[in-house]
């Protein structure tokens, strides 16, 4: 049985989710947002009628409740039902009153932490999920690296025997190599979060480094962003939408986006189209450029920072194919994933996909995807036309598959 993380793309990377009874380490470099991976998984598990225990040692349980609520993940009803309980391993550290029945009087003592954890484990109704927030704090507070790893080995083993799943957060501070390796070896699955600098811009990525239930895992580094509300979203900060003059770039961006703006003069785009898309767990920013050759420096600049490119061509205007091919060549010089959206495919005189591909001499790795207006009779010259939602989504899906 698989458990959903509540993050669609992560579930797909794990071939359906986390295997029940396994242990998962969410391992982040310092400064990278990680908490919402655990919170989103916790809330997803609770709404699917599971039982959960949240072991917290770096903030009060009340703070966790408020953080969850801020993302529209209100767990109060689950606490009232008894399906969600806390282990408070923090209040004792600051000499505050306990905020949970599972209370550790002295969190600096790993033996007391262990005793409270085993007590909760034995009382937990299965199937269940346990979130540990966080292992790095446990190591720092107890100052007992070896003892914490020893506890983890025994605790995860007992949990597995009962079919209980564990998700633990771990920030990779400069611990010794033996400590980091020791922690990693305990877990069946490691999801690594890191930041990568790209042309001065810092982006966050996650990847599934290992999962015991996967025979062979091709590693994908997936860009993400934490949205509030919304939680973890695969974040594609720039998809370039371009093509010859009047092919339908503005129509595509306005049809795809939840919000879009254009800068135009006399009905013709003279600067940038910009749109934002929320689609199947992805958050995507679209940037469109004018088709005229004088704007090619803008095309070169934007393609250097893009994650992928959509080339729009007009199936009724083969004279524009050479220009489209040149634009594709310019944008793919950095190896950008690309698809070609063949617009107006249903109009009289339009060429079919095979003919467009032949005339443009497209390589096999470039997909051509058909695109049509919802009602071509209502189209007005110089105005964005509403394109069929299924066609627009198909273009996005094909490109995002290549990007990820």
Give the Cα separation of 58 and 134 in Å (integer).
7
Q: Which two tokens stand for residue 117?
A: 């954890």
Which of 207, 228, 249 represents a domain boundary (last residue)? 228
User: Do 278 and 185 have their domain in common?
Assistant: no
Q: Is pLDDT above 70 for 302?
A: no
CA 364 distance to own-chain centroid: 29
Question: What integer pLDDT is reported at residue 68 of this predicted model?
Answer: 96
User: Do 162 and 16 have their domain in common?
Assistant: yes
Average pLDDT, stretch 33-58?
95
Q: Which of 255, 301, 293 is nearest to 275 (CA)?
A: 255
* Confidence class for position 382, pLDDT limits 50, 70, 90: low
Instruction: Specify the CATH number for the domain of residue 174.
Output: 3.40.50.300
Average pLDDT, stretch 61-89?
95
User: Do 251 and 313 have their domain in common?
Assistant: yes
Question: What integer pLDDT is reported at residue 295 of this predicted model?
Answer: 64
Question: What integer pLDDT is reported at residue 262 of this predicted model?
Answer: 66
Question: What integer pLDDT is reported at residue 54 of this predicted model?
Answer: 97
Range(s) of the domain holding residue 245: 235-403
User: Do 90 and 19 have their domain in common?
Assistant: yes
pLDDT digits (tens, 9 = 90+) for 191-247: 999 987 554 456 788 999 999 998 776 778 888 888 887 889 888 878 889 889 888
User: Do 272 and 365 have their domain in common?
Assistant: yes
Give the Cα separation of 385 and 81 in Å (integer).
51
User: Do 176 and 282 have their domain in common?
Assistant: no
Which of 212, 228, 244 represents a domain boundary (last residue)? 228
Which of 228, 248, 273 represents a domain boundary (last residue)? 228
Tell me the Cα Rg of the chain.
26
Average pLDDT, stretch 151-162?
95
Give 5 or 235, the one with higher predicted confidence.
5
Give 381 or 225, the one with higher predicted confidence.
225
Q: Is pLDDT above 50 for 77?
A: yes
User: Do 243 and 219 have their domain in common?
Assistant: no
Average pLDDT, stretch 173-198?
91
Residue corresponding to tokens 């996650």: 206
User: Do 197 and 242 have their domain in common?
Assistant: no
Q: Which two tokens stand for residue 309?
A: 């490119």
User: Do 217 and 285 have their domain in common?
Assistant: no
Question: What integer pLDDT is reported at residue 113 of this predicted model?
Answer: 95
Give the three-state DSSP class for 12: helix
Q: Taking all residues of the chain, what is their mean pLDDT, rounded to a whole number?
A: 88
User: Do 321 and 209 have their domain in common?
Assistant: no
Average pLDDT, stretch 20-46?
95
Q: Is pLDDT above 90 for 388?
A: yes
pLDDT digits (tens, 9 = 90+) for 343-366: 999 999 999 999 999 999 888 788
Q: Which two tokens stand for residue 58?
A: 């770096």
Q: Is pLDDT above 50 for 269?
A: no
Query: In total, how many domains does the chain have?
Result: 2
Q: Is pLDDT above 90 for 175?
A: yes
What SS3 string covers the chain?
Answer: CEECCCCHHHHHHCCCCEECCCEEEEEECCCCCCHHHHHHHHHHHHHCCCEEEEEECCCCHHHHHHHHHHCCCCCHHHHHHCCEEEEECCHHHHCCCCCCCEECCCCCCHHHHHHHHHHHHHHCCCCEEEEEECHHHHHHHHCCHHHHHHHHHHHHHHHHHCCCEEEEEEECCCCCHHHHHHHHHHCCEEEEEEEEEECCEEEEEEEEEEECCCCCCCCCCEEEEEECCCEEEEEEEEEEEECCCCCCHHHHHHHHCCEEEEEEECCEEEEEEEEEEEECCEEEEEEECCCCHHHHHHHHHHHCCCCEEEEEEECCCHHHHHHHHHHHHHHCCCCCCEEEEEECCCCCCCCCHHHHHHHHCCCCCCEEEEECECCHHHCCCCCCCCECHHHHHHHHHHHHHHHC
Q: Is pLDDT above 60 for 16?
A: yes
Give the Cα separation of 5 and 257 in Å (integer).
26
User: Do 304 and 201 have their domain in common?
Assistant: no
Q: Are strands 282-288 and 231-242 parallel, antiparallel or unpaired?
A: parallel
User: Do 389 and 263 have their domain in common?
Assistant: yes
Average pLDDT, stretch 111-135?
92
């Amino acid at each position: 049985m698989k458990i959903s993380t509540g993050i669609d793309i992560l579930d797909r990377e794990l071939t359906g989710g986390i295997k029940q009874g396994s242990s998962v380490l969410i391992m982040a470099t310092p400064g990278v947002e990680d908490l919402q991976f655990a919170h989103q998984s916790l809330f997803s598990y609770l709404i699917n009628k599971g039982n959960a225990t949240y072991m917290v040692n770096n903030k009060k349980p009340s703070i966790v409740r408020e953080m969850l609520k801020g993302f529209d993940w209100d767990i109060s009803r689950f606490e009232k039902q008894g399906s969600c309980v806390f282990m408070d391993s923090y209040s004792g550290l600051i000499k505050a009153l306990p905020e949970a029945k599972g209370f550790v009087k002295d969190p600096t003592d790993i033996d007391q932490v262990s005793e409270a954890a085993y007590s909760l484990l034995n009382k937990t109704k299965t199937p269940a999920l346990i979130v540990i927030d966080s292992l790095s704090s446990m190591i720092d507070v107890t100052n007992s690296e070896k003892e914490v790893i020893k506890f983890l080995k025994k605790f995860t083993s007992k949990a597995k025997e009962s079919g209980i799943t564990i998700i633990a957060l771990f920030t990779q501070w400069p611990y010794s190599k033996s400590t980091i390796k020791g922690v990693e070896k305990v877990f069946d699955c490691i999801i690594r979060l890191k930041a990568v600098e790209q042309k001065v811009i810092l982006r966050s990525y996650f990847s599934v480094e290992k999962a015991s239930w996967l025979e062979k895992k091709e590693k994908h580094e997936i860009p993400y962003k934490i949205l509030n509300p919304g939680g973890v979203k695969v974040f594609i900060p720039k998809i370039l939408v371009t093509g010859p003059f009047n092919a339908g770039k503005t129509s595509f961006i306005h049809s795809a986006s939840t919000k879009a703006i254009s800068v135009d003069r006399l009905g013709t785009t003279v600067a940038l189209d910009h749109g934002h898309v929320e689609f199947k767990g992805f958050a995507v920013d679209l940037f469109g450029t004018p088709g005229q050759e004088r704007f090619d420096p803008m095309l070169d600049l934007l393609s250097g920072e893009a994650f992928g490119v959509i080339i729009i061509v007009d199936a009724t205007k083969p004279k524009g194919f050479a220009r489209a091919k040149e634009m594709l060549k310019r944008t793919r010089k950095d190896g950008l994933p690309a698809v070609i959206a063949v617009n107006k495919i249903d109009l009289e005189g339009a060429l079919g996909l095979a003919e467009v591909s032949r005339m443009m001499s497209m390589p096999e790795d470039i997909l051509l995807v058909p695109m049509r207006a919802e009602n071509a009779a209502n189209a007005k010259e110089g105005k964005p036309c509403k394109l069929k939602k299924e066609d627009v989504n198909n273009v996005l899906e094909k490109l995002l598959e290549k990007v990820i």
